[in-house]
Structure 1
Amino acid sequence: MREAHRVGRVQFLIRVRDDLNVHEVVPAVDGALLTDLVDVFELAAGMQPAGAAYGGLIPAFFRFGPLDKHFHGRSTSTMGPKTPLLGCECGEWGCWPLTARIAVTERSVTWDAFEQPHRPTRDYAGFGPFRFERRRYDAALEGLCLEIAALEV
C-alpha cells in the first residue's frame, strides 16, 4: 500500500464508543483511520470476513500499560512479538486484533509485518509498511497520553 521509504503522518485519535460507554484509540495514517485502511485492503484482497471488523483499542477494557510504551512495541501484556494496533469492532482486542511489528529507531518508527493472528494464512505483505518520523510520532503519542490522562480524572 505504501512504499517503505515514504514517511507518513500519524495521529492517535480518541473516539467515544457510545454503544459501550467508553473511549477507544484509533490510529490514523495521513488522515485516514487505520480501521478504514485495513478494511479497504482486506476487501480488495477478497478476505472473509472483512469490512467493519476492526475497532480501536479500549484502554478501560485492557491495561496496555503506558500507551507510549505500547505504541513503541514495548507492551508486556500482549500476545507474541507483535503489537495490537486495532481490536475487534466488539471492543475486545483479543477477539479480532490487527497486529504489527513496531520498529523504533532514533529517527523513525515503522509499522510492518501486519497480521490477523486468528487467520494466519492471510497475506498482508501489500499492507504497509507505514513509516513515521520519530520526533512527530513521539509528539503524537505524548498528546494521546495527555488526553487519556485527562479522561481518567
Structure 2
Amino acid sequence: MSTNEIQFDCQHYDGVHEVVPRIDGLLLTELIDTFEKSAGMRPAGNAYGGLSPQHYRFRMEDHFHGPSTNAMGPKMPVLGCSCGEWGCWPLMARITMTADLVAWDSFEQPYRTARDYTAFGPFRFDRHRYNAALRDLSTAVDSDDA
C-alpha cells in the first residue's frame, strides 16, 4: 500500500502561529478548495485556514494523534475557518493510528451535513514519518515562542 507524504507548515502572523497540513506537497487548504469547487459545493474556496495552537490548551503534536477525548466527537479538526476559529467552519477528519500507519478519512464539514466527502481522501501516512513531521512542527512552534 502506498502512503502519502505529510508536512505541517507553520506560519507566524502578528504573534500567532497558523498550522496548515501539506499532503504530497500541496496545502490541505488548496486540496479541499479544489475538491469542494469541483463537487459544486457552495460556499467553496478560501473558506478554510490553519489551526492556531495558541488559542487552545493542547499541543499540536497531541492534537494530530487523534481525539484524546470525545469533546468534539470521534473526529478532529484538521483545518479551521479562514477567520482562524475552528468552531466557525472546521474541516473534520477521523484520525486513526496503528503501529505503522496513520490514516485521515471520513472528512466532513459539520455545518453542511448534506455534503458528501467520501471521494476526498483517505490519506495514509507512514507512522514514523508522520511522527517526525509532528516533531518538526513542535520544534518550529517552540522556537518561534522562545
TM-score for the superposition, normalised by structure 1? 0.90
* 1:68-116 deviation digits (Å, cap 9, x = unpaired): 2210103448511100000000010110000100010000000000000
Does the CA contact (< 8 Å) of 1:26 and 1:33 recur in 2?
Answer: yes
Unpaired runs of at least 5, structure 1: none
**Structure 1 Cα separation of the partners of residues 16 and 114 of structure 2:** 33
Residues 1:93 and 1:83: Cα distance change in structure 2 (over 3 Å): same
What's 1:31 paired with? 25
Runs of 4+ in 1 over 6 A off after TM superposition: none
Does the CA contact (< 8 Å) of 2:67 and 2:74 recur in 1?
Answer: no
**Structure 2 Cα separation of the partners of residues 33 and 72 of structure 1:** 19
**Structure 1 Cα separation of the partners of residues 101 and 53 of structure 2:** 25
TM-score for the superposition, normalised by structure 2? 0.94
Does the CA contact (< 8 Å) of 1:24 and 1:56 recur in 2?
Answer: yes
What's 1:119 paired with? 112
- Residue 40 in 1 paired to residue 34 in 2? yes
- Residue 9 in 1 paired to residue 29 in 2? no
**Structure 2 Cα separation of the partners of residues 11 and 131 of structure 1:** 13
Instruction: Give % identity.
Output: 56
**Structure 1 Cα separation of the partners of residues 92 and 142 of structure 2:** 25
Q: Give the alignment of 1:1-153 within 5 angstroms.
A: 5-17=1-13, 21-63=15-57, 65-76=58-69, 78-153=71-146
Unpaired runs of at least 5, structure 2: none
Does the CA contact (< 8 Å) of 2:53 and 2:59 recur in 1?
Answer: no
SS at match of 2:54: coil
Does the CA contact (< 8 Å) of 1:78 and 1:84 recur in 2?
Answer: no
Residues 1:131 and 1:43: Cα distance change in structure 2 (over 3 Å): same
Q: CA RMSD in A?
A: 1.4
Aligned length: 146
